């Protein structure tokens, strides 16, 4: 799951996946912006068949690959 997410982020941001670590803060580092987040949400919803609610849109859920994986796992477990 981490590699899929890392690759999506890298492809969307035209970045090298090797520079995106599990704990890289993708917004603070300028890798992603709000448009990237929208694409990421669409990717997550279609890949993992989950629904992202408005109250889910917090940096703690989408700030890094690790946080995104935790968010997806939490949604899948619910």
Q: How far apart are CA 37 and CA 23, in angstroms?
A: 17
Q: Give me the pLDDT at residue 15, please.
A: 86
- pTM of this prediction? 0.93
Count how many domains the chain has: 1
Q: What is the CATH number of the domain that holds 49?
A: 1.10.1200.10
pLDDT band at 75 (very low <50, low <70, confident <90, very high): very high
d(CA 31, CA 14): 9
Question: Domain span at residue 59?
Answer: 2-77
pLDDT tens-digit readout, 18-65? 999 999 999 999 999 989 999 999 999 999 999 999 999 998 999 999
Residues 6+ apart with CB under 8 A from 71: 56, 61, 62
């Amino acid at each position: 799951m981490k590699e899929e997410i890392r690759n999506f982020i890298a492809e969307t941001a035209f970045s090298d996946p090797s520079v995106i670590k599990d704990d890289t803060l993708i917004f603070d580092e300028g890798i992603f912006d709000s448009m990237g987040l929208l694409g990421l949400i669409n990717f997550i919803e279609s890949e993992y068949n989950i629904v992202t609610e408005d109250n889910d849109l917090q940096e703690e859920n989408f700030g890094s690959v690790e946080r995104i994986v935790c968010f997806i796992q939490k949604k899948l477990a619910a």
